[in-house]
Amino acid sequence: MILKLSRRTLISSFLTLLFVSCKDSTNTNGRLNKQNDLKPIRLKIGKMADFKSPYTPLSIYRVAIIRVTENSQPSLKAISLLCTHQTCLVNFKSPTYECPCHGSIFDRDGTVLKGPAVKPLNWKKIEIEGDDIFLLPDSNVDKSWSLKI
């Protein structure tokens, strides 16, 4: 049996469902209920042993993990591989990041060397828990931030 719905019925049903789901997730003040508060997204990107090289691109997560040593202290950093012009995936061509879509070029720390991009590449927060490394993709941190390991 094939159910035929008019466009009006389909849109009306969708909007009703959307309204009900939004109404149920808020309290009388219009704020999210405690149990529905949004938590930061954490993506497990690997184990410590996966990041021994100085540069590990993770295209699936659109970041690269960079291992640095400062004052004999190793640490990890995550730089976004999304061009700030129109979010194309940039390529690392040492010593720069190059956008294949419109030609923007960024230096190692994400600073714009050539437009059309005007904003630097973003740096992302990463966390360690036991031997696991997690990426917080919605975070932006200063380029000087690093995770001491």
User: Are 139 and 96 in the same domain?
Assistant: yes
Q: What is the C-alpha to C-alpha distance for residues 105 and 94, in angstroms, rounded to an integer?
A: 11
Residue-number span of the structural domain to which 26 is assigned? 7-36
Torsion of CA 63, 66, 105, 124, to 10 degrees: 50
pLDDT digits (tens, 9 = 90+) for 17-39: 555 555 444 444 455 545 556 67
Helix (H) or strand (E) holding 77: strand 73-80
User: Are 31 and 83 in the same domain?
Assistant: no
Top pLDDT among 65 and 37 is at 65
Nearest-CA neighbor of 132 among 50, 69, 65? 50
pLDDT at 1: 46
> Any idea what the CATH number is for the domain that residue 121 is in?
2.102.10.10
User: Are 31 and 49 in the same domain?
Assistant: no
The chain-wide mean pLDDT, for the chain, equals 83
User: Are 122 and 56 in the same domain?
Assistant: yes
